[in-house]
Structure 1
Amino acid sequence: MRDDSNDTVSPKDRFLTVYGRKPVLEALGDPALHVDKVILADTARGEGAAAIQRAARTAGVPVQRASAHRVKVLAGNGKQDQGVLADVVAPRMRPLTAALSSAPLPATVLLLDGITTPANVGMILRTATAAGIGGVVVPRRGVAALDPLVVKASAGVAFRAPVLRCATAAEAAGLLTDAGYRLYGLGAAGGEPLFQAELPERAAFVLGGETAGISPEVADLLTGRLTIPMPGEVESLNVAAAAAVLCFEVVRRKTAR
Protein backbone atom coordinates (compact mmCIF):
# COMPACT_ATOMS: atom_id res chain seq x y z
CA MET A 1 0.00 0.00 0.00
CA ARG A 2 1.16 3.53 -0.69
CA ASP A 3 2.25 5.98 1.97
CA ASP A 4 -0.80 7.98 2.95
CA SER A 5 0.94 10.76 4.83
CA ASN A 6 -0.20 14.32 4.12
CA ASP A 7 2.80 14.71 1.82
CA THR A 8 1.51 12.12 -0.61
CA VAL A 9 -2.26 12.25 -0.25
CA SER A 10 -3.92 13.99 -3.17
CA PRO A 11 -5.72 17.27 -2.35
CA LYS A 12 -8.84 15.61 -3.77
CA ASP A 13 -8.62 13.14 -0.86
CA ARG A 14 -8.35 15.90 1.77
CA PHE A 15 -10.57 18.74 0.62
CA LEU A 16 -14.01 19.44 -0.73
CA THR A 17 -13.76 22.16 -3.34
CA VAL A 18 -16.58 24.68 -3.50
CA TYR A 19 -16.85 27.22 -6.29
CA GLY A 20 -18.92 30.28 -7.02
CA ARG A 21 -19.03 33.52 -5.03
CA LYS A 22 -21.94 32.69 -2.72
CA PRO A 23 -20.75 29.16 -1.74
CA VAL A 24 -17.22 30.45 -1.12
CA LEU A 25 -18.47 33.34 1.02
CA GLU A 26 -20.70 30.94 2.99
CA ALA A 27 -17.75 28.60 3.61
CA LEU A 28 -15.54 31.49 4.74
CA GLY A 29 -18.25 32.74 7.08
CA ASP A 30 -18.94 29.36 8.72
CA PRO A 31 -16.90 29.07 11.94
CA ALA A 32 -17.37 25.28 11.94
CA LEU A 33 -15.42 24.93 8.68
CA HIS A 34 -11.69 25.21 8.07
CA VAL A 35 -10.94 26.66 4.65
CA ASP A 36 -7.43 25.81 3.48
CA LYS A 37 -7.22 28.41 0.71
CA VAL A 38 -9.17 30.48 -1.77
CA ILE A 39 -8.17 30.68 -5.42
CA LEU A 40 -9.37 33.76 -7.25
CA ALA A 41 -9.12 34.28 -11.00
CA ASP A 42 -6.83 37.13 -12.00
CA THR A 43 -9.72 38.48 -14.05
CA ALA A 44 -12.05 38.67 -11.02
CA ARG A 45 -12.70 42.27 -10.12
CA GLY A 46 -15.39 44.38 -8.53
CA GLU A 47 -17.29 44.21 -5.27
CA GLY A 48 -17.80 40.43 -5.46
CA ALA A 49 -14.08 39.74 -5.58
CA ALA A 50 -13.43 42.38 -2.91
CA ALA A 51 -16.01 40.80 -0.58
CA ILE A 52 -14.33 37.43 -0.92
CA GLN A 53 -10.92 38.92 -0.17
CA ARG A 54 -12.29 40.69 2.92
CA ALA A 55 -13.96 37.52 4.18
CA ALA A 56 -10.78 35.52 3.61
CA ARG A 57 -8.73 38.11 5.49
CA THR A 58 -11.15 38.00 8.41
CA ALA A 59 -10.98 34.20 8.49
CA GLY A 60 -7.20 34.16 8.13
CA VAL A 61 -7.40 32.21 4.87
CA PRO A 62 -4.77 32.80 2.15
CA VAL A 63 -5.98 33.94 -1.26
CA GLN A 64 -4.09 32.81 -4.34
CA ARG A 65 -4.47 34.34 -7.78
CA ALA A 66 -4.58 32.13 -10.86
CA SER A 67 -5.65 32.39 -14.46
CA ALA A 68 -9.34 32.10 -15.21
CA HIS A 69 -8.58 28.93 -17.16
CA ARG A 70 -6.79 27.42 -14.17
CA VAL A 71 -9.75 28.16 -11.90
CA LYS A 72 -12.10 26.49 -14.38
CA VAL A 73 -9.88 23.40 -14.51
CA LEU A 74 -9.63 23.16 -10.72
CA ALA A 75 -13.35 23.72 -10.21
CA GLY A 76 -14.28 21.25 -12.92
CA ASN A 77 -17.23 23.46 -13.82
CA GLY A 78 -16.43 26.24 -16.24
CA LYS A 79 -19.97 27.62 -16.33
CA GLN A 80 -20.59 28.20 -12.62
CA ASP A 81 -17.24 28.81 -10.94
CA GLN A 82 -17.56 32.64 -11.26
CA GLY A 83 -13.79 32.90 -11.07
CA VAL A 84 -13.40 31.67 -7.50
CA LEU A 85 -13.08 28.45 -5.55
CA ALA A 86 -12.16 27.39 -2.04
CA ASP A 87 -10.65 24.19 -0.69
CA VAL A 88 -12.49 23.23 2.50
CA VAL A 89 -10.88 20.69 4.82
CA ALA A 90 -13.02 17.57 5.20
CA PRO A 91 -11.73 16.10 8.49
CA ARG A 92 -13.16 12.62 7.97
CA MET A 93 -12.20 12.28 4.32
CA ARG A 94 -9.27 9.99 3.60
CA PRO A 95 -8.06 7.48 1.02
CA LEU A 96 -9.65 4.05 1.20
CA THR A 97 -6.17 2.55 1.51
CA ALA A 98 -5.60 4.59 4.67
CA ALA A 99 -8.86 3.37 6.21
CA LEU A 100 -7.96 -0.24 5.42
CA SER A 101 -4.45 0.02 6.85
CA SER A 102 -5.43 1.44 10.25
CA ALA A 103 -7.37 0.08 13.18
CA PRO A 104 -10.17 -0.26 13.83
CA LEU A 105 -11.53 -0.99 10.38
CA PRO A 106 -14.97 0.47 9.67
CA ALA A 107 -17.48 -2.32 10.24
CA THR A 108 -19.93 -1.15 7.58
CA VAL A 109 -19.03 0.55 4.31
CA LEU A 110 -21.09 1.81 1.39
CA LEU A 111 -19.55 1.69 -2.07
CA LEU A 112 -20.97 4.01 -4.71
CA ASP A 113 -20.70 2.49 -8.17
CA GLY A 114 -21.70 4.71 -11.08
CA ILE A 115 -24.04 7.08 -9.21
CA THR A 116 -23.86 10.22 -11.32
CA THR A 117 -26.63 12.43 -9.92
CA PRO A 118 -25.16 14.89 -7.40
CA ALA A 119 -28.41 15.02 -5.42
CA ASN A 120 -28.28 11.27 -4.87
CA VAL A 121 -24.66 11.34 -3.75
CA GLY A 122 -25.36 14.21 -1.36
CA MET A 123 -28.40 12.54 0.18
CA ILE A 124 -26.53 9.26 0.59
CA LEU A 125 -23.70 11.06 2.41
CA ARG A 126 -26.20 12.75 4.73
CA THR A 127 -28.06 9.51 5.48
CA ALA A 128 -24.91 7.45 6.01
CA THR A 129 -23.47 10.05 8.36
CA ALA A 130 -26.71 10.22 10.34
CA ALA A 131 -26.75 6.43 10.64
CA GLY A 132 -23.15 6.24 11.84
CA ILE A 133 -21.94 4.24 8.84
CA GLY A 134 -18.16 3.78 9.05
CA GLY A 135 -17.31 4.87 5.54
CA VAL A 136 -18.76 5.81 2.16
CA VAL A 137 -16.47 5.01 -0.75
CA VAL A 138 -16.82 7.74 -3.38
CA PRO A 139 -14.55 6.89 -6.34
CA ARG A 140 -12.98 9.77 -8.23
CA ARG A 141 -14.13 8.31 -11.56
CA GLY A 142 -17.61 7.15 -12.50
CA VAL A 143 -19.39 8.94 -9.64
CA ALA A 144 -20.63 12.53 -9.38
CA ALA A 145 -17.88 14.89 -8.27
CA LEU A 146 -17.96 16.12 -4.69
CA ASP A 147 -18.94 19.66 -5.66
CA PRO A 148 -21.32 22.34 -4.35
CA LEU A 149 -24.32 20.47 -5.76
CA VAL A 150 -23.44 17.44 -3.61
CA VAL A 151 -22.76 19.66 -0.60
CA LYS A 152 -26.13 21.38 -1.05
CA ALA A 153 -28.01 18.07 -1.36
CA SER A 154 -26.36 16.87 1.84
CA ALA A 155 -27.39 20.08 3.62
CA GLY A 156 -23.72 20.66 4.44
CA VAL A 157 -23.16 17.23 6.01
CA ALA A 158 -20.81 16.27 3.15
CA PHE A 159 -18.09 18.36 4.81
CA ARG A 160 -17.98 15.98 7.79
CA ALA A 161 -19.08 12.73 6.15
CA PRO A 162 -16.78 9.66 6.42
CA VAL A 163 -15.79 9.79 2.75
CA LEU A 164 -13.24 7.25 1.50
CA ARG A 165 -11.57 7.99 -1.84
CA CYS A 166 -10.10 5.73 -4.51
CA ALA A 167 -9.83 5.77 -8.30
CA THR A 168 -12.69 3.49 -9.33
CA ALA A 169 -15.43 1.32 -7.84
CA ALA A 170 -13.70 -1.78 -9.21
CA GLU A 171 -10.48 -0.84 -7.41
CA ALA A 172 -12.42 -0.29 -4.20
CA ALA A 173 -14.19 -3.63 -4.51
CA GLY A 174 -10.85 -5.39 -4.85
CA LEU A 175 -9.31 -3.57 -1.88
CA LEU A 176 -12.32 -4.27 0.31
CA THR A 177 -12.35 -7.96 -0.65
CA ASP A 178 -8.64 -8.27 0.12
CA ALA A 179 -9.27 -6.64 3.51
CA GLY A 180 -11.82 -9.30 4.43
CA TYR A 181 -15.06 -7.53 3.63
CA ARG A 182 -17.96 -9.35 2.07
CA LEU A 183 -19.59 -7.36 -0.69
CA TYR A 184 -23.35 -7.24 -1.13
CA GLY A 185 -25.11 -5.58 -4.03
CA LEU A 186 -28.37 -3.78 -3.30
CA GLY A 187 -30.87 -4.09 -6.13
CA ALA A 188 -34.55 -3.93 -6.96
CA ALA A 189 -35.01 -7.66 -7.48
CA GLY A 190 -33.28 -11.01 -7.61
CA GLY A 191 -31.65 -10.87 -4.21
CA GLU A 192 -32.22 -12.10 -0.70
CA PRO A 193 -34.64 -9.92 1.28
CA LEU A 194 -32.60 -7.39 3.24
CA PHE A 195 -34.57 -7.74 6.46
CA GLN A 196 -34.08 -11.51 6.68
CA ALA A 197 -30.51 -11.79 5.39
CA GLU A 198 -27.74 -12.89 7.73
CA LEU A 199 -24.95 -10.36 7.39
CA PRO A 200 -21.38 -10.56 8.67
CA GLU A 201 -19.83 -8.10 11.11
CA ARG A 202 -17.70 -6.61 8.34
CA ALA A 203 -19.68 -5.86 5.18
CA ALA A 204 -19.58 -3.50 2.22
CA PHE A 205 -22.81 -2.66 0.44
CA VAL A 206 -22.63 -1.67 -3.20
CA LEU A 207 -25.08 0.92 -4.52
CA GLY A 208 -25.23 0.85 -8.30
CA GLY A 209 -25.84 3.65 -10.78
CA GLU A 210 -29.24 5.13 -11.53
CA THR A 211 -29.55 3.46 -14.94
CA ALA A 212 -26.87 0.80 -15.36
CA GLY A 213 -26.86 -0.56 -11.81
CA ILE A 214 -23.78 -2.33 -10.49
CA SER A 215 -20.89 -2.53 -12.95
CA PRO A 216 -19.81 -5.98 -14.19
CA GLU A 217 -16.32 -5.62 -12.68
CA VAL A 218 -17.79 -5.04 -9.23
CA ALA A 219 -20.55 -7.62 -9.68
CA ASP A 220 -17.91 -10.32 -10.17
CA LEU A 221 -16.70 -9.72 -6.60
CA LEU A 222 -20.07 -9.75 -4.85
CA THR A 223 -20.71 -12.25 -2.08
CA GLY A 224 -24.45 -11.91 -2.61
CA ARG A 225 -27.28 -9.64 -3.61
CA LEU A 226 -29.91 -8.03 -1.40
CA THR A 227 -33.28 -6.58 -2.21
CA ILE A 228 -35.73 -4.41 -0.31
CA PRO A 229 -39.18 -6.06 -0.15
CA MET A 230 -41.80 -3.82 -1.74
CA PRO A 231 -45.33 -5.25 -1.50
CA GLY A 232 -46.77 -2.20 -3.21
CA GLU A 233 -46.97 -1.70 -6.95
CA VAL A 234 -43.62 0.05 -7.38
CA GLU A 235 -40.73 -1.48 -9.32
CA SER A 236 -37.84 0.15 -7.50
CA LEU A 237 -36.72 2.91 -5.16
CA ASN A 238 -34.48 5.84 -5.94
CA VAL A 239 -30.91 4.84 -5.02
CA ALA A 240 -30.75 7.44 -2.23
CA ALA A 241 -34.02 6.17 -0.76
CA ALA A 242 -32.78 2.58 -0.97
CA ALA A 243 -29.56 3.61 0.76
CA ALA A 244 -31.59 5.14 3.59
CA VAL A 245 -33.52 1.91 4.12
CA LEU A 246 -30.26 -0.05 4.14
CA CYS A 247 -28.45 2.32 6.52
CA PHE A 248 -31.18 2.26 9.12
CA GLU A 249 -31.62 -1.49 8.86
CA VAL A 250 -27.95 -1.63 9.88
CA VAL A 251 -28.76 0.71 12.79
CA ARG A 252 -31.75 -1.42 13.80
CA ARG A 253 -29.62 -4.57 13.91
CA LYS A 254 -26.96 -2.89 16.02
CA THR A 255 -29.43 -1.50 18.53
CA ALA A 256 -31.29 -4.82 18.75
CA ARG A 257 -28.22 -6.72 19.95
Structure 2
Amino acid sequence: MGDESVISPKDRFLTVYGRKPVLEALDDAALEVDKVILADTVRGPNAAEIQRAAKAAGVPVQRASAHRVKVLAGNGKQDQGVLADVVAPRMRSLHAALSDGRPPSRVLLLDGITTPANVGMILRTATAAGLEGVVVPRRGVAALDPMVVKASAGVAFRAPVLRCGSAREAAEMLTEAGYGIYALGASARSSVFDVELPQRAAFVLGGETNGVGAEVGELVTEWVSIPMPGEVESLNVSAAAAVLSFELVRRAATKASGTTR
Protein backbone atom coordinates (compact mmCIF):
# COMPACT_ATOMS: atom_id res chain seq x y z
CA MET A 1 0.00 0.00 0.00
CA GLY A 2 3.02 2.28 -0.15
CA ASP A 3 1.95 3.79 -3.47
CA GLU A 4 -1.27 5.10 -1.90
CA SER A 5 0.60 8.28 -0.99
CA VAL A 6 1.07 9.03 -4.69
CA ILE A 7 -1.75 11.20 -6.03
CA SER A 8 -3.27 9.63 -9.12
CA PRO A 9 -5.16 11.70 -11.70
CA LYS A 10 -8.09 9.39 -10.90
CA ASP A 11 -8.07 10.86 -7.39
CA ARG A 12 -8.42 14.42 -8.72
CA PHE A 13 -10.72 14.28 -11.72
CA LEU A 14 -13.97 12.78 -12.90
CA THR A 15 -13.62 11.91 -16.56
CA VAL A 16 -16.66 12.43 -18.73
CA TYR A 17 -16.76 11.23 -22.30
CA GLY A 18 -18.96 11.69 -25.32
CA ARG A 19 -19.79 14.89 -27.22
CA LYS A 20 -22.86 15.96 -25.21
CA PRO A 21 -21.47 15.33 -21.67
CA VAL A 22 -18.23 17.13 -22.57
CA LEU A 23 -20.09 20.13 -24.01
CA GLU A 24 -22.33 20.25 -20.92
CA ALA A 25 -19.28 20.23 -18.65
CA LEU A 26 -17.63 23.02 -20.64
CA ASP A 27 -20.81 25.10 -20.56
CA ASP A 28 -21.27 24.74 -16.78
CA ALA A 29 -19.67 27.77 -15.10
CA ALA A 30 -19.74 25.95 -11.74
CA LEU A 31 -17.37 23.27 -12.99
CA GLU A 32 -13.62 23.50 -13.50
CA VAL A 33 -12.52 21.44 -16.50
CA ASP A 34 -8.82 20.63 -16.45
CA LYS A 35 -8.50 19.57 -20.08
CA VAL A 36 -10.27 18.10 -23.07
CA ILE A 37 -8.75 15.25 -25.06
CA LEU A 38 -9.93 14.89 -28.63
CA ALA A 39 -9.18 11.90 -30.84
CA ASP A 40 -7.26 12.74 -33.99
CA THR A 41 -10.01 10.95 -35.94
CA VAL A 42 -12.58 13.58 -34.90
CA ARG A 43 -12.69 16.25 -37.60
CA GLY A 44 -15.04 18.75 -39.16
CA PRO A 45 -18.02 20.38 -37.39
CA ASN A 46 -17.90 18.04 -34.37
CA ALA A 47 -14.27 18.87 -33.63
CA ALA A 48 -14.88 22.57 -34.25
CA GLU A 49 -17.81 22.63 -31.83
CA ILE A 50 -15.75 21.05 -29.05
CA GLN A 51 -12.80 23.35 -29.71
CA ARG A 52 -14.99 26.48 -29.68
CA ALA A 53 -16.58 25.50 -26.37
CA ALA A 54 -13.21 24.68 -24.83
CA LYS A 55 -11.73 27.98 -25.98
CA ALA A 56 -14.69 29.90 -24.54
CA ALA A 57 -14.16 28.13 -21.21
CA GLY A 58 -10.39 28.65 -21.29
CA VAL A 59 -9.73 24.91 -21.32
CA PRO A 60 -6.82 23.38 -23.25
CA VAL A 61 -7.55 20.75 -25.90
CA GLN A 62 -5.11 17.91 -26.45
CA ARG A 63 -5.11 15.61 -29.46
CA ALA A 64 -4.55 11.87 -29.03
CA SER A 65 -5.10 8.68 -30.95
CA ALA A 66 -8.59 7.20 -30.95
CA HIS A 67 -7.18 4.19 -29.09
CA ARG A 68 -5.70 6.42 -26.39
CA VAL A 69 -9.04 8.18 -25.87
CA LYS A 70 -10.81 4.81 -25.52
CA VAL A 71 -8.25 3.68 -22.94
CA LEU A 72 -8.57 6.91 -20.95
CA ALA A 73 -12.37 6.85 -21.11
CA GLY A 74 -12.50 3.19 -20.15
CA ASN A 75 -15.38 2.77 -22.55
CA GLY A 76 -15.02 1.31 -26.02
CA LYS A 77 -18.36 2.31 -27.49
CA GLN A 78 -19.61 5.63 -26.21
CA ASP A 79 -16.65 7.98 -25.94
CA GLN A 80 -17.25 9.42 -29.46
CA GLY A 81 -13.57 10.36 -29.57
CA VAL A 82 -13.72 13.03 -26.88
CA LEU A 83 -13.35 13.23 -23.12
CA ALA A 84 -12.90 15.88 -20.47
CA ASP A 85 -11.23 15.74 -17.07
CA VAL A 86 -13.43 17.65 -14.62
CA VAL A 87 -11.89 18.75 -11.32
CA ALA A 88 -13.65 17.10 -8.37
CA PRO A 89 -12.65 19.41 -5.51
CA ARG A 90 -13.67 17.05 -2.69
CA MET A 91 -12.27 13.87 -4.22
CA ARG A 92 -9.03 12.53 -2.79
CA SER A 93 -7.37 9.26 -1.89
CA LEU A 94 -8.47 7.38 1.21
CA HIS A 95 -4.84 7.51 2.32
CA ALA A 96 -4.92 11.31 2.23
CA ALA A 97 -8.21 11.45 4.16
CA LEU A 98 -6.91 9.15 6.90
CA SER A 99 -3.64 11.09 7.12
CA ASP A 100 -5.53 14.33 7.64
CA GLY A 101 -5.46 15.99 11.05
CA ARG A 102 -9.25 15.65 11.13
CA PRO A 103 -10.15 12.40 9.34
CA PRO A 104 -13.84 11.82 8.59
CA SER A 105 -15.76 10.33 11.51
CA ARG A 106 -18.38 8.55 9.39
CA VAL A 107 -17.80 7.06 5.93
CA LEU A 108 -19.56 4.72 3.56
CA LEU A 109 -17.59 1.97 1.83
CA LEU A 110 -18.91 0.60 -1.45
CA ASP A 111 -18.16 -3.09 -2.03
CA GLY A 112 -19.07 -4.67 -5.35
CA ILE A 113 -21.77 -2.17 -6.35
CA THR A 114 -21.63 -2.38 -10.12
CA THR A 115 -24.77 -0.52 -11.24
CA PRO A 116 -23.86 3.10 -12.11
CA ALA A 117 -27.33 4.34 -11.12
CA ASN A 118 -26.87 2.99 -7.59
CA VAL A 119 -23.40 4.51 -7.21
CA GLY A 120 -24.69 7.86 -8.47
CA MET A 121 -27.69 7.88 -6.14
CA ILE A 122 -25.54 6.88 -3.16
CA LEU A 123 -23.16 9.77 -3.88
CA ARG A 124 -26.10 12.19 -4.09
CA THR A 125 -27.67 10.93 -0.87
CA ALA A 126 -24.42 10.88 1.11
CA THR A 127 -23.56 14.40 -0.03
CA ALA A 128 -27.05 15.63 0.90
CA ALA A 129 -26.66 14.05 4.34
CA GLY A 130 -23.36 15.82 4.88
CA LEU A 131 -21.27 12.66 5.17
CA GLU A 132 -17.56 13.34 5.02
CA GLY A 133 -16.56 10.43 2.83
CA VAL A 134 -17.77 7.76 0.43
CA VAL A 135 -15.06 5.23 -0.36
CA VAL A 136 -15.34 4.24 -4.03
CA PRO A 137 -12.68 1.63 -4.86
CA ARG A 138 -11.20 1.64 -8.34
CA ARG A 139 -11.78 -2.10 -8.67
CA GLY A 140 -15.04 -3.96 -8.14
CA VAL A 141 -17.30 -0.90 -8.24
CA ALA A 142 -18.88 0.90 -11.20
CA ALA A 143 -16.51 3.43 -12.74
CA LEU A 144 -17.22 7.09 -12.01
CA ASP A 145 -18.42 7.84 -15.52
CA PRO A 146 -21.19 9.95 -17.13
CA MET A 147 -23.85 7.40 -16.11
CA VAL A 148 -22.88 7.81 -12.45
CA VAL A 149 -22.79 11.60 -12.85
CA LYS A 150 -26.25 11.56 -14.46
CA ALA A 151 -27.72 9.36 -11.72
CA SER A 152 -26.34 11.74 -9.10
CA ALA A 153 -27.90 14.72 -10.94
CA GLY A 154 -24.42 16.23 -11.18
CA VAL A 155 -23.68 15.96 -7.45
CA ALA A 156 -20.93 13.39 -8.14
CA PHE A 157 -18.64 16.24 -9.21
CA ARG A 158 -18.66 17.66 -5.67
CA ALA A 159 -19.23 14.51 -3.62
CA PRO A 160 -16.70 13.61 -0.89
CA VAL A 161 -15.30 10.66 -2.84
CA LEU A 162 -12.37 8.75 -1.34
CA ARG A 163 -10.40 6.50 -3.69
CA CYS A 164 -8.41 3.33 -3.09
CA GLY A 165 -7.62 0.12 -4.93
CA SER A 166 -10.19 -2.29 -3.53
CA ALA A 167 -12.83 -2.59 -0.83
CA ARG A 168 -10.63 -5.04 1.09
CA GLU A 169 -7.73 -2.61 0.99
CA ALA A 170 -10.05 0.16 2.24
CA ALA A 171 -11.35 -1.99 5.09
CA GLU A 172 -7.78 -2.78 6.14
CA MET A 173 -6.77 0.88 6.07
CA LEU A 174 -9.86 1.93 8.01
CA THR A 175 -9.34 -0.77 10.61
CA GLU A 176 -5.72 0.27 11.08
CA ALA A 177 -6.89 3.86 11.51
CA GLY A 178 -9.19 2.86 14.37
CA TYR A 179 -12.54 2.69 12.59
CA GLY A 180 -15.22 0.21 13.51
CA ILE A 181 -16.43 -1.58 10.37
CA TYR A 182 -20.21 -2.04 10.19
CA ALA A 183 -21.79 -3.98 7.35
CA LEU A 184 -25.42 -3.91 6.31
CA GLY A 185 -26.96 -7.37 6.18
CA ALA A 186 -30.65 -8.29 6.09
CA SER A 187 -30.30 -11.07 8.68
CA ALA A 188 -28.25 -9.12 11.24
CA ARG A 189 -29.75 -8.94 14.72
CA SER A 190 -28.44 -5.46 15.54
CA SER A 191 -30.49 -2.58 14.18
CA VAL A 192 -28.87 0.35 12.42
CA PHE A 193 -31.09 2.53 14.63
CA ASP A 194 -29.80 1.11 17.93
CA VAL A 195 -26.21 0.01 17.43
CA GLU A 196 -23.65 1.80 19.59
CA LEU A 197 -21.04 3.45 17.40
CA PRO A 198 -17.44 4.39 18.19
CA GLN A 199 -15.98 7.80 17.40
CA ARG A 200 -15.00 6.61 13.92
CA ALA A 201 -17.16 4.22 11.92
CA ALA A 202 -17.28 2.93 8.36
CA PHE A 203 -20.43 1.38 6.90
CA VAL A 204 -20.07 -1.22 4.15
CA LEU A 205 -22.70 -1.34 1.43
CA GLY A 206 -22.55 -4.58 -0.52
CA GLY A 207 -23.21 -5.41 -4.14
CA GLU A 208 -26.65 -5.69 -5.69
CA THR A 209 -26.55 -9.49 -6.02
CA ASN A 210 -24.07 -10.90 -3.53
CA GLY A 211 -24.00 -8.27 -0.79
CA VAL A 212 -20.82 -7.66 1.18
CA GLY A 213 -17.98 -9.80 -0.12
CA ALA A 214 -16.16 -12.39 1.99
CA GLU A 215 -12.86 -10.49 1.88
CA VAL A 216 -14.41 -7.44 3.50
CA GLY A 217 -16.72 -9.55 5.68
CA GLU A 218 -13.68 -10.95 7.52
CA LEU A 219 -12.92 -7.46 8.86
CA VAL A 220 -16.45 -6.47 9.90
CA THR A 221 -16.80 -5.36 13.53
CA GLU A 222 -20.56 -5.86 13.58
CA TRP A 223 -23.35 -6.61 11.13
CA VAL A 224 -26.40 -4.38 11.26
CA SER A 225 -29.78 -4.45 9.57
CA ILE A 226 -32.57 -2.05 8.71
CA PRO A 227 -35.75 -3.24 10.47
CA MET A 228 -38.48 -3.97 7.94
CA PRO A 229 -41.84 -4.88 9.53
CA GLY A 230 -43.37 -5.31 6.09
CA GLU A 231 -43.07 -8.42 3.96
CA VAL A 232 -40.08 -7.33 1.89
CA GLU A 233 -36.80 -9.22 1.98
CA SER A 234 -34.43 -6.35 1.27
CA LEU A 235 -34.04 -2.79 0.02
CA ASN A 236 -32.21 -1.58 -3.05
CA VAL A 237 -28.68 -0.67 -1.96
CA SER A 238 -29.16 3.02 -2.72
CA ALA A 239 -32.35 3.06 -0.63
CA ALA A 240 -30.49 1.35 2.21
CA ALA A 241 -27.74 3.95 1.91
CA ALA A 242 -30.35 6.70 2.24
CA VAL A 243 -31.82 5.18 5.41
CA LEU A 244 -28.35 4.80 6.91
CA SER A 245 -27.15 8.27 5.90
CA PHE A 246 -30.11 10.05 7.43
CA GLU A 247 -29.98 7.92 10.57
CA LEU A 248 -26.48 9.34 10.99
CA VAL A 249 -27.92 12.83 10.43
CA ARG A 250 -30.51 12.14 13.13
CA ARG A 251 -27.86 10.94 15.57
CA ALA A 252 -25.70 13.99 14.96
CA ALA A 253 -28.68 16.32 15.49
CA THR A 254 -29.66 14.49 18.67
CA LYS A 255 -26.11 14.71 19.99
CA ALA A 256 -25.94 18.43 19.16
CA SER A 257 -29.19 19.10 21.01
CA GLY A 258 -27.98 17.22 24.05
CA THR A 259 -30.91 14.79 24.14
CA THR A 260 -30.70 11.02 24.30
CA ARG A 261 -31.51 8.68 21.44
TM-score (structure 1 length as normaliser): 0.97
Matched with 1:144 is 142
Q: Which letter maps to 1:109? A: V
| Cα distance between partner residues in 2 of 1:56 and 1:191 | 54
Work out which of the residue numbers 91, 94, 109 in structure 2 matches 1:93: 91
Work out which of the residue numbers 196, 199, 218 in structure 2 matches 1:198: 196
State the secondary structure of the residue aligned to 1:138.
strand
1:103 CA displacement: 1.4
Matched with 1:180 is 178
1:110–1:218 CA distance, 2 compared to 1 (3 A): same
Q: Which letter maps to 2:115? A: T
Q: How does 1:62-77 map to 2 (within 5 A)?
A: 62-77=60-75
Matched with 2:237 is 239
Matched with 1:13 is 11
Q: Which letter maps to 2:116? A: P
Does 2:33 match 1:35?
yes
| Cα distance between partner residues in 2 of 1:158 and 1:130 | 11
| Cα distance between partner residues in 2 of 1:3 and 1:10 | 10
| Cα distance between partner residues in 2 of 1:255 and 1:88 | 34
Q: Is the 8 A contact 1:191 1:224 kept in 2?
A: no
Residues 222-249 of structure 1: per-residue CA shift (max 9 Å, x gap): 1000100000111000000000000000
Matched with 2:117 is 119
| Cα distance between partner residues in 2 of 1:38 and 1:56 | 7
Moved over 4 A (4+): 1-5
Q: Which runs of 5+ in 2 are unaligned?
A: 256-261
State the secondary structure of the residue aligned to 1:251.
helix
1:46 CA displacement: 2.3
Q: Which runs of 5+ in 1 are unaligned?
A: none
Residues 162-198 of structure 1: per-residue CA shift (max 9 Å, x gap): 0000000000000000000000001222231111211
Aligned length: 255
1:105–1:53 CA distance, 2 compared to 1 (3 A): same
Residues 72-117 of structure 1: per-residue CA shift (max 9 Å, x gap): 1110111100000000000000000000001101010000000000
Matched with 2:23 is 25
Matched with 1:44 is 42
| Cα distance between partner residues in 1 of 2:2 and 2:209 | 34
Matched with 1:53 is 51
TM-score (structure 2 length as normaliser): 0.95
| Cα distance between partner residues in 1 of 2:37 and 2:69 | 7
| Cα distance between partner residues in 2 of 1:45 and 1:188 | 53
1:201 CA displacement: 2.1
Matched with 1:166 is 164
State the secondary structure of the residue aligned to 1:64.
strand
| Cα distance between partner residues in 2 of 1:170 and 1:189 | 22
Percent identical:
76
Residues 150-170 of structure 1: per-residue CA shift (max 9 Å, x gap): 000000000000000000000
State the secondary structure of the residue aligned to 1:87.
strand
Does 2:88 match 1:79?
no
1:47 CA displacement: 1.5
Matched with 1:106 is 104
Work out which of the residue numbers 207, 224, 233 in structure 1 matches 2:205: 207
1:167–1:3 CA distance, 2 compared to 1 (3 A): closer
